[in-house]
């Protein structure tokens, strides 16, 4: 394919050069012949046939590359080294190989001039022209052959390298499918399309590996988080089993077992709830929600509890903040953020709910002045089951902020955790609906 | 109460019927939607408990068909995951309340009791009275032993809900749903603290306490026996 294309382009180039070269040479011949005719006529005083005959005879004696013919009106040769011709005016070629004046000549190209009572023809051998043509054709033939050979060889090498690289890619892919997700496609220094492709595939593999790691982490965490309550549950049931004579003890043990199971079920419900929200099939059912009123309700719901804990819950909420969303999910989102604040700050802390309109957005911040979250862990707290070491012992499933994060995502909003110096500032930015 | 339970899962049906008959109700069971709809429309019931997923005819269609036929029997809808959509569509179809599986006996009994009381109370009441506690629903004022008690608006709604269900068990979830319109479990002691505040305003310094905590179940407003 590559060789064919090279051949065709070579042929086109060849024809152009060939045609222009031969045309140029014909021009050269025509010009010199025309000037020779002019000189003959100029050297012949009065342009009489006899005068021209003298000039031509003199010229024909010294071979100069030119061939001459002077014939009279009857067609008889008067001078020169050519046989008689039919008296035709202008440029003509004479294809026959003729013998004359001891010099061999092949085809001639020359100019005929009709004079009063005579015909003068001056020609030039086209031998050179033919030789030139042959040479051009010959060299081009060689060039063509060489270039096709080179093209074939180059194509083979190129495709061989390409095939080799593609083979490497598919081999690596097979290895990755097989077991080793850590492997990556080789990226050469060439920076060509294949490298771009390999780069994209590698990025995709990084993402997949990350997701796999998350999944493994979550699975381990679920197992870990459920083991503790299940172990406690087992111990209690065993205890109840032993206390056959003490019905009161059996009853209270069973009751506490039920509480334990409820906490396990709550973890599962939260996980399912997160999954359900993340699948995000609800977006079209979003309605306009009056966020100010919703936040006031939540604030009022949690205030007594905060006061009971020796914490202060304050609100600064602009009136009539409207957003599009699902009321219940938004309520859960802000409830989770507030609960998070209440749960992870000591007595005497203040938790503030700030809601305001900022251009196209409604920003709701839940700010506390507790210990906060170290910057490097802020991304992690949104993951399922992640809990700071310091809060391992407090109540909660480690799912509250993951749920909040899922709700934020389904609303096309953002949740940003930042430093409140001291404490945590959790800001949700929703698009305002009016 | 005479209750028809339409539920295809035998285990759950058995569990529910045991719990309810232990509480003095009469339970009949239907294993699929068609049979359930038939029995629900032919016989007289005090309450229908309808599962969302049923063979032959799903729970939603059963409730819709009953409501279109003019049946006003209260319906308690059972759903699996607390999907908001399930709850909303269930209530829109004409159900009176819903419960998310798995649920506790206490929750089920409280809901059933609350629904059973709903029908006869259609007359508009303007005052609720328990012992010396008087609640004026129009003026939204409360008197205990003739002395006015200052309540915040939400505290009034909390007390009103308890009073409307006096002598019944009211669960935490019922209060969250009906007083705050919160349909998830906040996992904390929010309700407890609200109740203890209300209790301190209503019962403090009184010889007869009216607000009682039922361990593991919920709360009730009643004159102690």
pLDDT digits (tens, 9 = 90+) for A297-329: 999 999 998 998 899 999 999 998 999 888 888
Q: Point out the least confidently predicted range of A233-237, B149-153, B154-158.
A: A233-237
In tens, the pLDDT along B78-90 reads 887 656 667 778 8
B61-72 pLDDT, tens digit each = 999 999 998 888
Q: Using DSSP bridges, classify how beta strands A287-290 and A322-325 pair: parallel, antiparallel or unpaired.
A: antiparallel
Q: Is A396 on the interface with B (CB under 8 A)?
A: yes
pLDDT higher than threshold 50 for residue A103:
no
Query: Could you report the per-residue pLDDT of A338-391, keeping only the tens digit for each?
Result: 988 888 888 989 999 999 998 899 999 999 988 878 877 777 777 766 666 555
Let me know if domain A283-431 sits in CATH 3.30.565.10. yes
For B84, the closest of A258, A259, A326 (CB atoms) is: A326
Give B55-124 as a DSSP string. Answer: SSS-HHHHHHHHHHTT----EEEEESS--HHHHHHHHHHT-SEEEESS--HHHHHHHHHHHHTTTTTTSP
Question: What are the residues whose beta carbons fall under 8 Å from the beta carbon of A272, sequence distance 6 or more?
Answer: B81
Report the length, in residues, of chain B: 225
Residue A396, SS3? coil
Residue A395 sits at the chain B interface (C-beta within 8 Å): yes
- CA-nearest residue to B87 within chain A is A328
> Which residues from chain B sit within 8 angstroms of residue A269, using beta carbons?
81-82
B154 contacts on A by Cβ (under 8 Å): 300
Domain range B2-116, CATH architecture? 3-Layer(aba) Sandwich (3.40)
Q: What is the pLDDT of residue B170?
A: 92
Residue from A388, A413, A416, A386 nearest A399 by CA:
A386
pLDDT in tens, A197-239: 888 888 888 888 888 887 887 788 778 777 877 888 888 888 8
The answer to whether the Cβ–Cβ distance between B216 and A255 falls below 8 Å is yes
What average pLDDT does the segment A93-105 reach?
A: 52
pLDDT at A364: 94
β-bridge mates for residue B48, sequence order:
B4, B75
The reply to whether B153 touches chain A by the CB within 8 Å rule is no
B window 50-109, beta carbon within 8 A of A: 81-85, 102, 104
**How far does the CA of residue A302 sit from the closest CA of chain B (Å)?**
6
On chain B, the residues whose CB falls within 8 A of the CB of A302 are 190
Let me know if domain A193-279 sits in CATH 3.30.1450.10.
no
| Average pLDDT score over residue span A8-36 | 85
The answer to whether the CB atoms of B85 and A326 lie below 8 A apart is: no
Most confidently modeled of A160-169, A254-263, B198-207? B198-207
- Segment A121-168, tens digit of pLDDT: 888 877 777 787 788 888 888 888 888 888 888 888 888 888 888 888
State how beta strands A361-368 and A350-358 pair.
antiparallel
**Nearest beta carbon to residue B193 from set A255, A269, A305:** A305
Handedness of CA A165, A166, A168, A169 (dihedral sign): positive
A293 inside 8 A of chain B by CB? no
How much is the pLDDT for A59? Answer: 80
**pLDDT tens-digit map of B14-51:** 989 988 888 888 999 998 888 989 999 888 899 999 99
A109 forms beta bridges with A93, A124
**Cβ-defined contact of B186 to A326 (cutoff 8 Å):** no
Say if A276 is an interface residue toward chain B (CB within 8 Å).
Answer: yes
Q: Does domain B127-221 have CATH number 3.40.50.720?
A: no
* Residue B134 CA, distance from chain mean position: 23
The answer to whether the CB atoms of A396 and B187 lie below 8 A apart is yes
Domain A2-130 classification at class level? alpha beta
Q: Do A304 and B83 touch (CB under 8 A)?
A: no
Q: Is the CB of residue A280 less than 8 Å away from at least one CB of chain B?
A: no
* Domain edges within chain A: 2-130, 193-279, 283-431
Q: Say if CB B105 and CB B113 are below 8 A apart.
A: no
What pLDDT shows up at residue A280? 65
Which is more confidently placed, A72 or B221? B221
The domain spans of chain B are 2-116, 127-221
Give this complex's ipTM.
Answer: 0.80
Model confidence at A100, pLDDT cuts 50, 70, 90, reads: very low
Chain A nearest C-alpha distance from B85 (Å):
9
pLDDT at A396: 59
Q: Which of B103, B108, B156, B193 is the best substitution to test chain A (most A C-beta atoms within 10 A)? A: B193
Beta strands in A31-166 (DSSP E): 66-72, 77-80, 90-94, 98-100, 103-105, 108-115, 118-125
Check whether A97 has a pLDDT greater than 80. no
Partner B contacted by A301 (CB < 8 A): yes
Q: What is the mean pLDDT of chain A?
A: 82
Question: A304 CB near a chain B CB, below 8 Å?
Answer: yes
Q: Which residue has the higher pLDDT, B67 or A42?
A: B67
């Amino acid at each position: 394919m590559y060789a064919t294309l090279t051949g065709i382009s070579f042929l086109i180039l060849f024809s152009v050069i060939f045609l222009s070269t031969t045309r140029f040479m014909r021009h050269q011949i025509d010009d010199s012949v025309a000037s020779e005719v002019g000189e003959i006529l100029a050297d012949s005083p009065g342009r009489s046939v006899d005068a021209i005959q003298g000039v031509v005879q003199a010229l024909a004696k010294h071979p100069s590359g030119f061939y001459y013919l002077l014939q009279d009106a009857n067609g008889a040769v008067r001078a020169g080294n050519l046989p008689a011709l039919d008296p035709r005016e202008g440029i003509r070629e004479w294809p026959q190989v003729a013998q004359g004046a001891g010099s061999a000549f092949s085809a001639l190209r020359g100019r005929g001039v009709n004079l009063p009572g005579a015909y003068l023809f001056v020609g030039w051998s086209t031998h050179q022209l033919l030789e030139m043509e042959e040479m051009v054709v010959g060299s081009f033939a060689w060039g063509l052959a060489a270039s096709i050979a080179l093209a074939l060889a180059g194509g083979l090498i190129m495709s061989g390298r390409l095939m080799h690289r593609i083979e490497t890619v598919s081999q690596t892919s097979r290895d990755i499918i097989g077991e080793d997700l850590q492997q990556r496609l080789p990226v050469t220094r060439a920076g060509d399309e294949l490298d771009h492709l390999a780069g994209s595939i590698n990025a995709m593999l990084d993402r997949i590996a990350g997701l796999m790691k998350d999944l493994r982490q979550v699975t381990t965490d679920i197992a870990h988080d459920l083991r503790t309550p299940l172990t406690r549950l087992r111990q209690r049931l065993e205890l109840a089993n032993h206390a056959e004579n003490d019905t009161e003890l059996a009853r209270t043990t069973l009751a506490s077992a039920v509480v334990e199971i409820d906490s396990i079920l709550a973890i599962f419900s939260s996980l399912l709830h997160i999954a359900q929200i993340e699948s995000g099939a609800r977006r079209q059912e979003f309605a306009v929600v009056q966020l100010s009123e919703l936040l006031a309700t939540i604030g009022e719901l949690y205030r007594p509890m905060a006061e009971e804990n020796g914490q202060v819950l304050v609100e600064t909420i602009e009136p009539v903040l409207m957003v599009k969303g699902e009321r219940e999910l938004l309520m859960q989102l802000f409830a989770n953020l507030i609960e998070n604040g209440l749960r992870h700050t000591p007595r005497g802390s203040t938790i503030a709910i700030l809601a305001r309109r900022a251009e196209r957005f409604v920003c709701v911040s839940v700010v506390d002045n507790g210990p906060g979250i170290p910057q490097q862990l802020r991304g992690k707290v949104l993951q399922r089951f992640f809990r700071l070491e310091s809060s391992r012992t407090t109540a909660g499933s480690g799912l509250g902020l993951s749920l909040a994060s899922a709700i934020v995502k389904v609303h096309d909003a953002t949740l940003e955790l930042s430093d409140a110096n001291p404490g945590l500032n959790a800001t949700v930015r929703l698009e305002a609906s009016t | 109460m005479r209750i028809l339970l339409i539920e295809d899962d035998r285990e759950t049906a058995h569990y529910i019927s045991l719990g309810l008959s232990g509480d003095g109700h009469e339970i009949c069971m239907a294993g699929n939607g068609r049979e359930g709809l038939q029995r629900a429309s032919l016989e007289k019931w005090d309450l229908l408990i309808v599962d969302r997923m049923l063979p032959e005819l799903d729970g939603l269609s059963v409730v819709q068909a009953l409501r279109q036929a003019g049946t006003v029997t209260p319906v308690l809808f059972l759903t699996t995951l607390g999907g908001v959509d399930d709850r909303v569509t269930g209530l829109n179809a004409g159900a009176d309340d819903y419960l998310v599986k798995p649920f506790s006996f206490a929750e089920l009994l409280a809901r059933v009791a609350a629904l059973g009381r709903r029908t006869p109370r259609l007359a508009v009441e303007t005052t609720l009275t328990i012992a010396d506690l008087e609640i004026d629903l129009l003026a939204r004022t409360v008197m205990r032993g003739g002395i006015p008690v200052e309540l915040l608006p939400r505290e009034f709604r909390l007390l009103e809900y308890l009073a409307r269900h006096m002598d019944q068990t009211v669960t935490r979830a019922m209060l969250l749903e009906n007083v705050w319109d919160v349909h998830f479990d906040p996992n904390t002691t929010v309700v407890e603290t609200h109740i203890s505040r209300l209790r301190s305003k209503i019962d403090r310094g009184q010889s007869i306490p009216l607000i009682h905590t039922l361990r593991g179940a919920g709360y009730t407003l009643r004159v102690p026996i």
